[in-house]
A and B are shown apart, each in its own frame.
Chain A
Amino acid sequence: MARIIVITSGKGGVGKTTTSAALAMGLAQQGKRTVVIDFDVGLRNLDLIMGCERRVVYDFINVINGEANLNQALIRDKRCDHLYVLPASQTRDKDALTKEGVDRVLTELSEGYDFIVCDSPAGIEHGANMAMYFADDAVVVTNPEVSSVRDSDRMLGILSSRSRRAENGEEPISEYLLLTRYDPERVANGEMLSVDDVQEILSLKLLGVVPESKAVLNASNAGVPVILDRESDAGQAYNDMVSRYLGEDVPHRFLNPEKKGFLSRLFKG
């Protein structure tokens, strides 16, 4: 039985797809059989971040509609044996994601995988609901910003009331906070909400803090999940995140500004 993880946020553009790609790759690199599914029907871009866009033949909706089987639609990652991508449809309507269809695909995948990572679209409507409905774990991706924190809180309300676990009266979804695009310098200057500020409001298990990083754009330009950029701060932060998710006790890094000399601070722009 696979564990189903939804990467969610409510607000768009906070780093869900970046995180889905990183988490899926990280789990697969630890030997876990992993599949990552793009639920963002109509705006698919997980395949771009994973660098497999030219190998897409069939998509999630084709499988739901019985136009292709899973083996035809799943794309095997070339860098990591245990990783598969199920792309979203570029053209269809979100309503094509029926609850029965999604259930059927997830159930079939559950047999052969350890983890199913669901990259949710933005918003709190159908597509996002389908991505989270079947989840066992939820990673709530949040930026240190008023609207993002607020939307994350609204998402928590939905997770606790409108999921399969909630409806069946089972143990609730495990919710984790991932704070991304964190700028320690601005936090130190009092210009940006700190991890503690956000935690005071959301009080979730903190899975990680990913700094604002140029490495993310570089990685997306190249179609390589940023977690594979081992030199980069974001890559390392995502690596720590995966270890924490798997139960390791890893201290948080990148929370404080890089130590700079007094002089360089004086004369920097």
Chain B
Amino acid sequence: MGLLDYFISSRSKGSANLAKERLQILVAHDRAARDQPSYLPQLQQEILAVIRKYVDVDLSAVSVNYEQEDSHEVLELNIVLPDTAQNQA
């Protein structure tokens, strides 16, 4: 460690903070994913199949999100429909 480094070395300049921030996000994400009920992927498949009977959407059009809050769970279903009805005709 040189003279200059000695004086400027401070806790804030290092990469550890960045590591910690990334980890917090990563771990929160992992934990949310593993707390999900195991039926979720199947549910997503079946909903997609039903929607496809009526509307021509692709695989990524249906997303199912599960979140656990303090007293209740939220199952969020998101379906992206094609732009307009005319496009389909």
Residues of B within 8 A of A (CB): 1-3, 6, 9-17, 19-20, 22-24, 26-27, 30-31, 34
Establish whether residues A190 and B24, one from each chain, have CB atoms under 8 Å apart when the complex forms.
no
**A149 and B22 alpha carbons, distance in the complex (Å):** 11
Establish whether residues B15 and A150, one from each chain, have CB atoms under 8 Å apart when the complex forms.
no
Establish whether residues B20 and A193, one from each chain, have CB atoms under 8 Å apart when the complex forms.
yes
Main secondary structure of the interface of B (DSSP, over half): helix
What is the minimal beta-carbon distance from B55 to any residue of chain A, in angstroms? 37
**A201 and B12 alpha carbons, distance in the complex (Å):** 19
Taking residues whose C-beta sits less than 8 angstroms from the other chain, chain A's interface range is 20 to 34
Known: A150-B30, A266-B1. 13 other contacts (CB 8 A): A150-B27, A153-B30, A153-B31, A188-B11, A190-B13, A190-B14, A190-B15, A190-B17, A191-B16, A193-B23, A197-B16, A265-B6, A266-B6
Establish whether residues B16 and A192, one from each chain, have CB atoms under 8 Å apart when the complex forms.
yes
* Residue A154 lies at the interface, judged by CB distance under 8 Å to chain B: yes
Task: Name the one of A146, A190, A193, A268 contacting B1, with C-beta atoms under 8 angstroms.
Answer: A268
* Residue A157 lies at the interface, judged by CB distance under 8 Å to chain B: yes
What is the minimal beta-carbon distance from B25 to any residue of chain A, in angstroms? 11
For the complex of A and B, list the 10 residue pairs with the smallest distance between their C-beta atoms, beginning with the closest. A190-B14, A191-B14, A190-B11, A157-B34, A197-B20, A153-B27, A190-B16, A146-B19, A193-B16, A189-B9
Chain A residues, CB < 8 A from B6: 265-266
* Residue A68 lies at the interface, judged by CB distance under 8 Å to chain B: no
Establish whether residues B11 and A157, one from each chain, have CB atoms under 8 Å apart when the complex forms.
no
**A266 and B1 alpha carbons, distance in the complex (Å):** 6
Chain B residues, CB < 8 A from A266: 1-3, 6
A–B complex contacts, Cβ < 8 Å, 7 sampled: A150-B30, A157-B34, A189-B11, A190-B17, A191-B14, A191-B16, A266-B2
